[in-house]
């Protein structure tokens, strides 16, 4: 190696060191540093399937607290992910933060594609339960849902309330049921996976619901309105009980005797986020005690170690007894096949 080559090599080492130092410094910032740099970026774009009222409240509170504007794009769980995929596959850099969303299986898939940024050094990261964090530090479960049934007494027409999902196939409940669409809602898709997994239910159960005149709505959030206004008496796949309770009297919750689903709702920062520091501040905010407490009030379960998930609603079933698949083992082909099978049984198409 001649003198010129040695000089070039030394310069490359120096440049690499400075670059790496910059990356480490940019990611491992204190909350104060995050705030200052986020305010310089000024805004961020957030894709989520959180209920509209809740998402708007969070965006407004974050802006008031940190003087950083949150542009909100809200759609169903699968719609949210499809939007991210469409942009990422064309190398379009728009979204900063994605989630929380019930399309849980998409996060390991996005991780494998290299689309997610490292977040394991966020100030709130160590306060999150290990089971709720990606082992590689690329996504985190912001909150979780227990999926059961809700009912409106006014629409029961004197019939007894079902104690299990299996009972819903009984003709006496014909025309009384509403469920979410598995081709749009991540929660509905997870629920459908569980039904197919269940020895008591299976794919045939979904067909029986269709023949029992089940009403399929686009997103699980629409189940709230349908049951609260009495259009259908029983809502399946629902978890945001608090929203229904404050909308109508006589609305209650049933934890099915034949089991229930847990839907973890992750969030992440995209690796090509246009506002990476503002994104980090916002995701850290979503994991903070004040926001996690708000989510518990709304009927969700927190991912924080110290939080009491039954603080406001003692009836909530425990997460550890609910069913969920091995999310890391689900690939994109499996997701598409599941959507097709469940949709055909439930909707006939």
Do 23 and 125 reside in the same domain of the chain? Answer: yes
Q: Is the pLDDT of residue 252 over 80?
A: yes
Same domain, 151 and 258: yes
pTM, two decimal places: 0.85
Residues 257 and 272 both lie in one domain = no
Is 323 contained in some domain? no
Q: Are 156 and 182 part of one and the same domain?
A: yes
Q: Which of 83, 46, 40, 81 is nearest to 61 (CA)?
A: 46
Residue 27 is predicted with a pLDDT of 57
CB neighbours of 169 closer than 8 A, spacing ≥ 6? Answer: 205, 208, 209, 212
Are 100 and 228 contained in the same domain? no
* Cα dihedral across residues 63, 278, 98, 80: positive or negative: positive
pLDDT, residue 151, reads 92
- Average pLDDT over the chain reads 89
Residue 154 and residue 136 in one domain: no
Give yes or no: residues 85 and 122 share one domain: yes
One domain for residues 41 and 158: no
Same domain? For 23 and 73 the reply is yes
**199 and 233 assigned to the same domain:** yes
Residue 241's domain is classified under what CATH number?
Answer: 3.40.190.10
Is 152 a domain residue? yes
Q: Is residue 14 in some structural domain?
A: yes
225 and 268: one domain? no
What are the residues whose beta carbons fall under 8 Å from the beta carbon of 29, sequence distance 6 or more?
A: 37, 277, 280
The pLDDT of residue 224: 83
**Tell me: the pLDDT tens digits for 148-162?**
899 999 999 999 999
Residue 155 lies inside a defined structural domain of this protein:
yes
- What total of structural domains would you count in the chain? 2
Write down the pLDDT at residue 118: 98
Confidence check: pLDDT of 16 > 80: no
Give per-residue pLDDT as tens, 101-144: 999 999 999 999 999 999 999 999 999 999 999 999 999 999 99
Q: Does 201 lie in the same domain as 101?
A: no
| Structural domain of 236 | 146-262+333-347
Please check the confidence at residue 254 and state whether its pLDDT lies above 80: yes
Residue 326 located in a structural domain = no
- Between CA 21 and CA 33 the distance in angstroms is 16
């Amino acid at each position: 190696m001649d003198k010129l080559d040695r000089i070039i090599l030394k310069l490359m080492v120096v440049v690499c060191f400075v670059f790496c130092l910059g990356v480490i410094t940019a990611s491992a910032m204190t909350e104060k540093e995050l705030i200052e740099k986020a305010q310089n970026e000024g805004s961020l774009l957030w894709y989520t399937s959180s209920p509209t009222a809740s998402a708007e409240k969070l965006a407004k509170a974050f802006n008031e607290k940190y003087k950083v504007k949150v542009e909100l794009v809200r759609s169903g769980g699968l719609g949210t992910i499809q939007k991210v995929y469409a942009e990422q596959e064309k190398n379009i850099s728009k979204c900063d933060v994605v989630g929380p969303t019930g399309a849980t299986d998409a996060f390991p898939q996005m991780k494998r594609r290299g689309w997610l940024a490292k977040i394991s050094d966020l100030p709130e990261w160590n306060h999150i339960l290990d089971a709720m964090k990606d082992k590689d530090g690329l996504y985190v479960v912001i909150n979780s849902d227990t999926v059961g049934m809700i009912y409106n007494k006014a629409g029961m027409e004197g019939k007894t309330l079902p104690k299990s999902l299996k009972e819903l196939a009984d003709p006496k409940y014909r025309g009384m049921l509403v469920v979410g669409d598995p081709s749009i809602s991540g929660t509905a898709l997870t629920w459908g996976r569980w039904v197919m997994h269940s020895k008591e239910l299976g794919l045939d159960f979904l067909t029986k619901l269709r023949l029992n005149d089940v009403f399929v709505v686009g997103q699980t959030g629409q189940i709230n309105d349908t049951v609260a206004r009495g259009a259908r008496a029983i809502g399946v796949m629902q978890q945001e009980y608090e929203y229904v309770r404050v909308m109508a009297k006589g609305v209650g919750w049933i934890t099915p005797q034949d089991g229930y689903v847990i839907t973890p709702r992750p969030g992440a920062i995209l690796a090509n986020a246009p506002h990476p520091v503002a994104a980090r501040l916002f995701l850290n905010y979503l994991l903070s005690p004040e926001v996690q407490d708000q989510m518990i009030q709304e009927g969700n379960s927190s991912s924080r170690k110290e939080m009491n998930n039954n603080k406001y609603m003692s009836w909530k079933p425990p997460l550890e007894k609910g069913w969920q698949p091995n999310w890391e083992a689900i690939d994109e082909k499996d997701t598409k096949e599941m959507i097709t099978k469940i949709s055909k049984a439930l909707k006939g198409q």
